[in-house]
Amino acid sequence: MPPKNKYYDDDDLEDYEDDDYWDEEYEEEAPPPPKPSPKPKPAPKPAAAPAAAAAKKLPQAAQIKQQPYQLVPEAAAAAAAGVQRFGFDQPSPDDMVLAAQQKKGPGPAPRPYNPLQHQQQRQQQEAAQQAAQQAQQGPADAALAGGMQGLSVGEPAAEPGAAQAAPQQQQQQQRGSTSRRPLTEYRPEPELAAECERAAAEEAGAGGKPRLHLVVLGHVDAGKSTLMGRMLYELGLISEKTVHKTQREAQATGKGSFAWAWMLDERPEERARGVTVDVAVTRFETPGRNVTLLDAPGHRDFVPNMIAGAAQADAALLIVDGSPGGFEAGFEPAAPGSAAGGGQTREHAQLARSLGVEQVAVVVTKLDTCDFSRERFDAIKSQLEPFLKTCGFREASIQWLPAVGPTGDNLAKPPADPRLAAWWKGPTLAQAIDAFRPTHRLLERPLRLPVTDVVRSGKAGVTVGGKLEGGALRPGSRVLIMPSGETSTVKSLEVDSKPTALARAGDSADVTLASIEPNVVGAGSVLCHPDFPVPLVDRFEARMVVLDVAIPVLKGQQVTIHAHTARESGHISGLVSLLNAKTGEVQRARPRCLLKGQSAVVEVTPARPLCLEEYAAYRALGRVALRDGGRTIAVGIISSLPGGAPSSSA
C-alpha cells in the first residue's frame, strides 16, 4: 500500500484497497474491428546509374572529360603573373595617402543645407548656360533678334543681356537677397498718392471716424464674448428678434446664460463647448471710432489663434473676472516646475505688448457677484497695475473701468444699478474705446499685407483677408506673393464687407487676386510691392525677454515661431549674448542658458524660410514670440536678418 502523503487522504486510500474499485474503473473494452489491409503498392523501379541518367539527359556530357584541378602554390602564381610580393619594408600606398591628409590638415566642416543659397546658385548656373547659348548663335540669329527688337512700339531697344538680367535680379529681390532696395527709396505712384490724400481728407472731414482695430483678451470664462455681445446690442447692431431667437436656442440646449456670448460665437463647436475657439471679427461704430472688433479665445489651447488676432490690433480690452476667486485663477503665476503655465491673464498681457499693442483698457466684470464692492475693484487694480507696467504698458495708456455684461451696466450708458453708480463716476466702455488714440497709417512704406486666411477661391480668383500694415492697394495693382514668389493683379477689393476702390494702411481688406492657384497663398503669406519685396529668411537674430519658464532656455531647443500671422516650427540655433535688462548692454557673450526674466540676443532658425522684416524697418513684421509645450517662453523684436538691406526707423 502506498504511503500516506499530502496528495492522498484517507478516503482515497480506502477506495484504493477496495476490490470493486478496479472492476468499476477499468472494465475490459471490446477490441476495435480490424482495419482492412491496404492494397500492395507496386515495387519501385530500380534507379538508373548516375552516369547512364546523365548520358540519357545530356548525350554530349559523355564526351566531356573532366580535368582534375591542380592547386598552384601562391608564390608560383604570383611569379607567373609577374607580381612581386610586398616586403613591408617601406610605407604602403594607403599609409602615404593618410600621411598626406594629416599633413594637409582637416578640411572645412560641411555647411548646412541652405535653400536660399541653393536657389541662387541654381539661378546663376542657368544664367551662365543661357549666356553660353547666346554666344554660340550665328550672325543670322543675331540679325533676326535685332529685327524683332526693332518691332517694339513706344519703348527703346533693350541692351543685350538686359532681358536675362532683369528676371534674375527680380528673383533675387523676391528671395530677400542682399541686392534688394532700401525701403527709404520707396515713392508711391502719383495717382495712388492722390487717392490716399483724398481719402484722408474725407476721413478728417465731417462725419469721418478714425479706424481702430480692437482685440478682446482675458482668461477663459472671464465673460469676454458675453460682454461684447451685449455691447453690440446696446449700440443697436443686434435686433430684438435676433436676441429672442438666440435666447430660445440657448435655453433649449440648457445654456441660457450663454445667450449673449452666442451673438459672437456662431460656430457649432464653440456653442457646444461653451468657449471661443477662433477669432470672431465684427465691426461697429462708437460716437468717435470706426471699430473692427477681434474677439480672441481665452483658452490655453487656442493661444495661437489669439496671437493671430492680437497681431492685427491697435488697442486691447483686457477682461478680468471680478467674482470671488475668478481674478486669482486667471492671474496666478505658473507653479514651480509646472509645464502648464499660469493664468491666461498674464500670458495675454505679455503677448499683446510684444505684438505691438500699446494701449489697453482693463474691464473688471462680474462685480455683481460681490455686491459691486469697490474694495474688490481697487484690490484687483493694485495687483494688476504693477504687472502691466513690467510688461511695457505706460501708466497713461492704461484705463480702468467696471462693467456687467448680462445687464449692460456701464457699457454704452452709465450704470443703472445704484450700488455701482454710487461710487463709479468714470467713463463707460464706449467712452473708453473713443479715448484710444488712432494709429498712424503707414502710407510712406511699401505694401505689406500679412494674409490671415483664404476667404474663398473659385473661377473669379482667390480672395485673401488681412490687415494692410503699410502702403495702399487699388484694383489693378500688381502685387508679389511671398514666399511663393508669384506675381498677381488685384481684381477687386472689399473693406468692411463693402466693395471699395482703395484700401489703405490700417484697413482690414479682402483682396481678390487674379490668375493664381489657391496653393500659392495661405495664412502667413505676405502681399508686397514687386519692387520692394519682403525678405525671405532662413534664420534671424532677435532681442528677446524670457518669460515664466519651468526649465532654462538652451541652445538647440525646439520652439514654435509666431510672427505677424505666420506660425512655423524651428529651433534656437544660438545664444548670442546676455543683455542688461535696463541698459541693453552686453553682459556676457554666448551664455550657456537663459533664465526667467533675462534679456538676450538669440539666433533662431525656422524649419522653412519666413517672411520677416527688421523691427527698425517695419515694426509690424519685426515682432516675434517663441512658444514651447503650450506656453510662451520668450517674446521680442527682430534685430538682424542675414543679407538685410539698410533700413531706417519706421
Model confidence at 403, pLDDT cuts 50, 70, 90, reads very high
The residue assigned the cell 484690490 is 379
pLDDT at residue 141, as a whole number: 43
What's the whole-model pTM score? 0.67
Query: Can you spell out the DSSP letters for 535-551?
Result: PEES-EEEEEEE-S-SS
Q: Averaged over 192-217, what is the pLDDT? A: 84
Which of 79-88, 244-253, 509-518 is the least confident region? 79-88
* Side chain identity at residue 316, one-letter code: A
Q: What is the predicted pLDDT for the residue at 20?
A: 54
Q: Does the pLDDT of residue 11 top 60, yes or no?
A: no
DSSP string covering 285-297:
E-SS-EEEEEE--
- In DSSP terms, which residues pair with 292 in a beta bridge? 213, 283
Predicted confidence (pLDDT) at residue 70 exceeds the cutoff of 70: no
Whether residue 565 has pLDDT greater than 80: yes
Which band of pLDDT confidence, cut at 50, 70 and 90, is reported for residue 36?
low
3 state SS of 351: helix
The burial class, CB within 10 Å (0-12 / 13-18 / 19+), for 91 is exposed
Task: Specify burial of residue 514 (Cβ count, 10 A radius: 0-12, 13-18, 19+).
Answer: middle
Task: Kindly state the greatest CA–CA separation across the chain.
Answer: 132
Instruction: Give the least confident one: 108-122, 337-351, 456-470.
Output: 108-122
Q: Which of 511, 443, 501, 498 is nearest to 472 (CA)?
A: 443
pLDDT value, residue 541: 94
State residue 253's pLDDT score: 79
Domain borders along the chain are: 184-205+441-534, 211-434, 536-640
- Residue 147: its pLDDT value, please? 38
Name the helix (H) or strand (E) containing 192.
helix 190-204
Q: What is the mean pLDDT of residues 170-182?
A: 52
- What are the DSSP calls for 67-108, one per residue? PPP----HHHHHHHHTPPPP-SSS--HHHHHHHHHHHH-PPP
> Quick check: 499 and 493 in contact, CB under 8 A?
yes
The mean pLDDT value for 80-101 works out to 72
- Tell me: cis bond preceding 483? Omega within 30 of 0 counts: yes
d(CA 451, CA 524): 6
> Does residue 196 surpass a pLDDT of 80?
yes
Task: Examine the pLDDT at 137 and tell me if it is beyond 60.
Answer: no
- C-alpha distances in Å from residue 127, one per residue of 139, 399, 490, 643: 21, 60, 31, 22
pLDDT at res. 571: 95
Closest alpha carbon to 503 in 474, 465, 469, 464? 474
Comparing 88-92, 266-270, 440-444, 550-554, the range with the smallest average pLDDT is 266-270
Q: Who has greater pLDDT, 249 or 594?
A: 594
Q: Which of 248, 275, 278 is nearest to 261 (CA)?
A: 275
Question: What's the mean per-residue pLDDT of the chain?
Answer: 77
Read off the amino acid at residue 15.
Answer: D
pLDDT of residue 265: 67
> Mind listing the pLDDT tens digit for each residue in 215-243?
998 888 788 888 888 888 888 888 888 88
CA 50 from chain centre, in angstroms, equals: 78
Window from 28-42, 308-322, 377-391, 441-455 with minimum mean pLDDT: 28-42
Return the C-alpha cell found at 592.
550657456
Higher pLDDT, 164 or 5: 5
Helix, strand, coil in percent for the chain, rounding step 5: 35, 25, 45
Does the pLDDT of residue 165 top 60, yes or no?
Answer: no
Give the whole-angstrom CA distance, residue 594 versus residue 524.
29
Residue appearing with cell numbers 480490424: 34
Integer angstrom CA distances of residue 607 from 269, 485, 532:
32, 18, 25
361-399: pLDDT as tens digits: 999 999 988 999 999 999 999 999 999 998 889 999 999
Nine cell digits for residue 82:
609577374
Q: Using one digit for the tens of pLDDT, what is the confidence trace for 376-385?
A: 999 999 999 9
pLDDT at 383: 93
> What is the residue whose three cell numbers read 462680474?
366
Per the rule left: phi > 0, alpha: psi between -120 and 50, beta: everything else, 221 is left
Residue linked to cell 450708458: 413
Say whether domain 211-434 belongs to CATH 1.10.10.410.
Answer: no
Partners of 290 in the β-ladder: 211, 285
Q: Do domains 184-205+441-534 and 211-434 have the same CATH topology?
A: no
Residue 411 has pLDDT above 60, yes or no: yes
pLDDT at 119 over 70: no
User: How is domain 184-205+441-534 classified at the CATH fold level?
Assistant: Elongation Factor Tu (Ef-tu); domain 3 (2.40.30)
Instruction: Examine the pLDDT at 124 and tell me if it is beyond 80.
Output: no
Reported confidence tier of residue 140, pLDDT bands at 50, 70, 90: very low
pLDDT tier, 167 (very low <50, low <70, confident <90, very high otherwise): very low
**What is the mean pLDDT of the segment spanning 461-485?**
91
Do the Cβ atoms of 344 and 220 come closer than 8 Å? yes
Lowest mean pLDDT of 133-147, 173-187, 518-532, 550-564, name the range: 133-147
Residue 142's pLDDT is 41
Model confidence at 460, in pLDDT bands (50, 70, 90)? confident
Contact 454, 522 (CB under 8 A): yes
pLDDT at position 280: 75
Taking the C-alpha atoms of residue 160 and residue 163, their distance in angstroms, rounded to an integer, is: 7
C-alpha cell at 407: 445687464
Q: Which amino acid is at 232?
A: L
- DSSP-assigned states of every residue in 228-274: HHHHHHHTT-S-HHHHHHHHHHHHHTT-GGGTTGGGT--SHHHHHHT
User: Span 536-640: which CATH code?
Assistant: 2.40.30.10
